[in-house]
Amino acid sequence: MNTTTLTLNEGYFSRRNTFDWVFALLLLVGGGYAFARYHTAMDVYEQAILVLSVPALIALGWFWRPLRALSLGIALLALLAIASYQGVDAQGAPGGDLARAEQVFWLKYFLSSQSAILWMSVLFFMSTVFYWLGMFSRTQGATLELIGSRLTWAAVVMALTGTLVRWYESYLIGPGIGHIPVSNLYEVFVLFCLMTALFYLYFEQQYATRAMGAFVMLVVSAAVGFLLWYTVVREAHAIQPLVPALQSWWMKLHVPANFVGYGTFSLAAMIAYAYLIKSQAEQESQSGLRWYKLAPLWIFGVVLCFVPIAFRQKMEGGGSYWLVYFIVAALIVVGILLGRKRIAERLPSAEVLDDVMYKAIAVGFAFFTIATVLGALWAAEAWGGYWSWDPKETWALIVWLNYAAWLHMRLMKGLRGTVASWWALAGLGVTTFAFIGVNMFLSGLHSYGTL
């Protein structure tokens, strides 16, 4: 007699383990404490954001479990930093004292916002080096890539810690100064590095491959390079009061959503570059493709190298810095093209690269659309109109239309492979100009972000 066994699918909550529930409980307690203590200083919209952020973070931690340990670790470091700032003022009253950033060991060397962000920068550079060492090593490749991955996680921890501590530091300067640190180019470059790296780490785990990190971390390291120049030459790390147009709760939603888009679009572009290197190297091995047929990739590399030279007139100061930047960029491009066969062996399959590129663009497009809608609502409140054809708005629309067309061709016409990769790579230029080029060369209502 045949016996049929019916297996019921496990419920969503029944799949949760003990750490999941502890994580959720800690977030509920922390969110409840924050609301009870600070709700009187918030308007109704900020209160709603705080309340809704708790279940959102729980859901994210349950969806991608590494976020649980990441969130708890960052919370502990940020709370340690805040506690280290506590002292007494000149009148002997207890309270936070910004001067302790130079007096307390942990703050001075690790946990003040500027120290944490500098550690982030060093760790991102180191992770890039280890990813590339792993790419070319024939015996220790997996170990070196693992070190690169761990360093990227550490950089993300320091980036988030630095961001949260900077938020607190802004309130120590004065009650009218405090604001979420996403208001100027320095702060959003940190946000860009953080978002790009975090989304990459998700794809790294989902596809069980670390070889893509060598390419993705190049764009993160390039952003870190700009951030360091901006810090040294323009002293951009100083916390400044918000201009009137930015004194809105809309900023807390619009800017992070925007930089999820910028980060994932840049990630997709670097994956597209990896795809092109792999496909060209495989064609070369199979059919004897001549080196000069790689000219488009060489040209793209030359363009990347000359970007700082082209921008140098606008980015006055640090001439020797940009010369070093150009030399390093040129060596990287030459190294990639000369080592393309080894790189092609290490990279995951073309199908995986194509799928990561598509998913990154899809996620980025969704968030960029949300950011654009939120930006229109913010503009209506701040300037009296939803759309004014400001240069930043115009280029945001160009970015949106570019990726809308890419996704349309992908879903309706089956766009894949080389054409899709070149298109995604060209999108990096459009995205970069919308991100920083507009601030450098054009003016308008968003002029508070100029260099």
Q: What pLDDT, in 10s, does the model give residues 232-248?
A: 877 788 888 888 777 88
pLDDT of residue 364: 96
Pick the more confident residue, 134 or 229: 134
pLDDT of residue 9: 52
Poorest-pLDDT segment among 106-110, 236-240, 393-397: 236-240
Instruction: Indicate the average pLDDT of the chain.
Output: 85
pLDDT of residue 169: 92
374 in Cβ contact with 243 (< 8 Å): no
pLDDT of residue 134: 94
Q: What pLDDT, in 10s, does the model give residues 178-207?
A: 888 998 889 999 999 999 999 999 999 999
Q: What pLDDT, in 10s, does the model give residues 126-141?
A: 999 999 999 999 889 8
Helices (H), 64-176: 66-85, 105-106, 113-136, 141-173
Nearest to 341, CA basis, from 418, 278, 275:
278
Nearest to 404, CA basis, from 431, 369, 370, 378:
369
* Dihedral over Cα of 116, 122, 124, 126: its sign: negative
Nearest to 221, CA basis, from 304, 161, 143, 297:
304
Poorest-pLDDT segment among 54-58, 407-411, 439-443: 439-443
Q: What is the 3-state secondary structure (H, E, C) of 290-316?
A: CHHHHHHHHHHHHHHHHHHHHHCCCCC
pLDDT of residue 1: 45
Poorest-pLDDT segment among 80-84, 369-373, 419-423, 432-436: 432-436
Check pLDDT > 70 for residue 253: yes
Give the whole-angstrom CA distance, residue 325 versus residue 293: 27
Instruction: Say which residue the tokens 């070319």 belong to.
Output: 136
Residue 88: phi and psi, rounded to 5, are -130, 145
Average pLDDT over residues 4-8: 46
Check pLDDT > 80 for residue 408: yes
Question: Confidence band (pLDDT; 50, 70, 90) for 55?
Answer: very high
Average pLDDT over residues 164-171: 92
Average pLDDT over residues 1-10: 49
Token digits of residue 263: 């980060």
DSSP codes joined into one string, 380-409: HHHHS-S----HHHHHHHHHHHHHHHHHHH
Distances (CA, A) of 30 to 58, 80, 253, 404: 12, 15, 21, 39
pLDDT of residue 308: 55
pLDDT of residue 7: 46
Check pLDDT > 50 for residue 79: yes
254 in Cβ contact with 374 (< 8 Å): yes
Question: Confidence band (pLDDT; 50, 70, 90) for 42?
Answer: confident
Q: Running DSSP on this structure, what letter comes out for residue 140?
A: S
Contacts 24+ apart (CB under 8 A), 317-320: 317/233, 317/234, 318/229, 318/232, 318/233
Check pLDDT > 90 for residue 15: no
Question: Confidence band (pLDDT; 50, 70, 90) for 289?
Answer: low
Give the whole-angstrom CA distance, residue 287 versus residue 265: 32
219 in Cβ contact with 267 (< 8 Å): yes
361 in Cβ contact with 265 (< 8 Å): yes
pLDDT of residue 423: 94
Give the whole-angstrom CA distance, residue 306 versus residue 329: 9
Give the whole-angstrom CA distance, residue 49 versus residue 31: 11
